[in-house]
Every structure is written in C-alpha cells, then in structure tokens.
C-alpha cells in the first residue's frame, strides 16, 4: 500500500487508481471516515479514464495517528506535500463535508503561494463551508452547544456515538420511509473506529473555522452541491458558499441527506463527470 512520509514524520496513506496518464481527480473525505468512503466515485471515474487519488487524513484510516496536527492548516499542508510527491497538476478537487474545508484551505494556499498549476477546479459536496458554527453572519449554523454535545458524546462512549450518527442523521435513515442499509451503517462505524479518538475529537474544533476568506480568494470554477435535507451541515449553511465565490455554481439535491456520495451516488457520479468534461 502506498504511503508518503510527511515532513513531521507522519505516514500518510493514499490511493492512486485509474489511468496514470488521465486527468487527475483528488478526493478528500469527511469525518470520521477515510478514503474508502469515496470508492464508488473513484471506481466510476477510474473506469472513465481518469486518474483518481484519495488519502486517509492524518489520524484517520490507515494513516498514522499523531497527537498533534489535527487542524485545517496541517491537513492542507499534508495535501500539498502529497501533490508535490506525486507531481500533480491541473487537478480537480472533490471534498465531502470536512474534506470540503481542507480542500478550500489547500486551494487558497496554493493560489497564495503561486502554485496555481496544481488546482484546476473544485467540487464541494455537503461541505462545512463557509462555516459550520452559528454566528451573526451565519444564523443557520450549528450553535457551539451542539458541537460541545458532540464532544461530550464522543468522549463518553465513542463506539455508541459512532453507531448513532450513521443510524440516524448522517444517511437520513431516521426519516420516515427511508431505505436503511445496515452495510452503510457498519461501514461508517468501522471507518470511524479506525480513526483515533484524538483526531476525531480535534476535528470538531476545525468545524468552527471561518472559510469565507479562503472562498473569496478563489477564481477557479467551483461546483457546490448540497442536499436540502442535510441534518449534519444545515442547508442554510451550505447554500451560502456560492455567494463568496467568484466563479461558483450551486446545485440542490432535493430531499438529499448529508451522505450524498453514498445515498445519491449515481447523481453525484454523473455531476462530477459532467463538470470534469467542461472546458
């Protein structure tokens, strides 16, 4: 399995699939998951001739579990080191939930550091941008009490919490007439428990990040996708993102839950392919 040893000694696991000379697409996963949660999209685009790459964020999946560095700036720097290692250019970035946040920071940093050849386009799926925390400018965000409750539940009984989330709001399985997949629930639990408790706890603080300056700095094409029944990142948060972009568009998935790459996989796959084919 491929690993990259980062500058601070952390080993980062990544997948590099599909056509090695194809147009590259890089995926960043949500909390508390890993690159396996993108396997449907990676398999689809890989079979379409694209080079598809995804990593396990530090502290998650098969990557090392350091005590420090579980924050947006370090995650963005880890991605930059991986891009340098793989000599990537003209990449379309695709981020889900927390992964949308670290990719927005990475894209903004890349532009600020004059590495504009790295990033061609960006797709944000159910992302935590422009900010998850409730504020005067973000009245539909999650109150700090809600984030603190998640911290408490994680520390009290992480295993039970990591069943409650996928059995309920993450996939929308708590909605009437929902078709429940026990396999998706178990997969979410397995991926979550593979991450360290420290990284999963620290990530909650990262959700308090204000990504508005990062978004404003971007001039690349950005596709923002959000479900209007997202119980994790409220629709009233996600639908603001495009307003801070110079070259963004917004697509609503009616009735869509937070887990669009899983629950609405075919639609996400087709939207990604169409966006990739645009010149």
Q: Which two tokens stand for residue 199?
A: 């990284």
Catalytic residues, by residue number, are 97, 230, 258
Q: Which residue has the tokens 């996600």?
A: 238
For residues 76 and 71, what is the distance between their CA atoms, to the nearest angstrom? 9
Q: What gap in Å lies between CA 92 and CA 222, rounded to an integer?
A: 10
Cβ atoms 107, 89 nearer than 8 A? no
Residue 235: helix, strand or coil by DSSP? helix
φ, ψ (nearest 5 deg) of residue 171:
-95, -5
Structure-block tokens of residue 166:
């996928």
Using DSSP's 3-state secondary structure scheme, residue 91 falls into: strand
Could you tell me which of 257, 268, 264 has the C-alpha nearest to residue 174? 257
> What residues form DSSP beta bridges with 123?
94, 223
Cα–Cα distances in angstroms (integers) from residue 206 to residues 20, 255, 276, in the given order: 33, 27, 29
Q: Are 191 and 163 in contact (CB under 8 A)?
A: no
Phi, psi of 128 (to 5 degrees): -80, 5
């Amino acid at each position: 399995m491929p690993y990259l040893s980062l500058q601070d000694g952390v080993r980062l696991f990544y997948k590099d699939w599909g056509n090695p000379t194809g147009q590259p697409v890089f995926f960043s996963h949500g909390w508390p998951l890993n690159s396996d949660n993108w396997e449907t999209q990676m398999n689809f685009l890989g079979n379409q001739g694209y080079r598809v790459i995804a990593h396990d964020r530090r502290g998650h999946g098969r990557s090392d579990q350091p005590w420090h560095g579980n924050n947006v700036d370090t995650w963005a720097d880890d991605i930059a080191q991986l891009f340098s290692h793989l000599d990537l250019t003209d990449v379309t970035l695709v981020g889900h939930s927390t992964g949308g946040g670290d990719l927005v920071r990475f894209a903004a940093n890349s532009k600020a550091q004059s590495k504009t050849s790295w990033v061609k386009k960006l797709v944000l799926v159910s992302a935590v941008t422009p900010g998850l925390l409730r504020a005067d400018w973000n009245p539909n965000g999650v109150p700090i009490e809600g984030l603190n409750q998640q911290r408490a539940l994680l520390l009290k009984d992480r295993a039970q919490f990591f069943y409650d989330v996928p059995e309920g709001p993450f996939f929308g399985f708590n909605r009437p007439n929902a078709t429940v997949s026990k396999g998706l629930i178990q997969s979410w639990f397995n991926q979550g428990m593979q991450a360290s408790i420290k990284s999963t706890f620290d990530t909650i603080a990262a959700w308090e990040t204000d990504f508005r300056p990062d978004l404003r700095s971007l001039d690349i094409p950005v596709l923002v996708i959000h479900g209007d029944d997202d119980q994790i990142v409220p629709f009233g948060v996600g639908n603001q993102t495009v307003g801070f972009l110079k070259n963004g568009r917004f697509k609503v998935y009616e009735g869509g839950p937070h887990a669009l790459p899983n629950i609405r996989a075919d639609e996400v796959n087709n939207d990604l392919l169409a966006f990739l084919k645009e010149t």
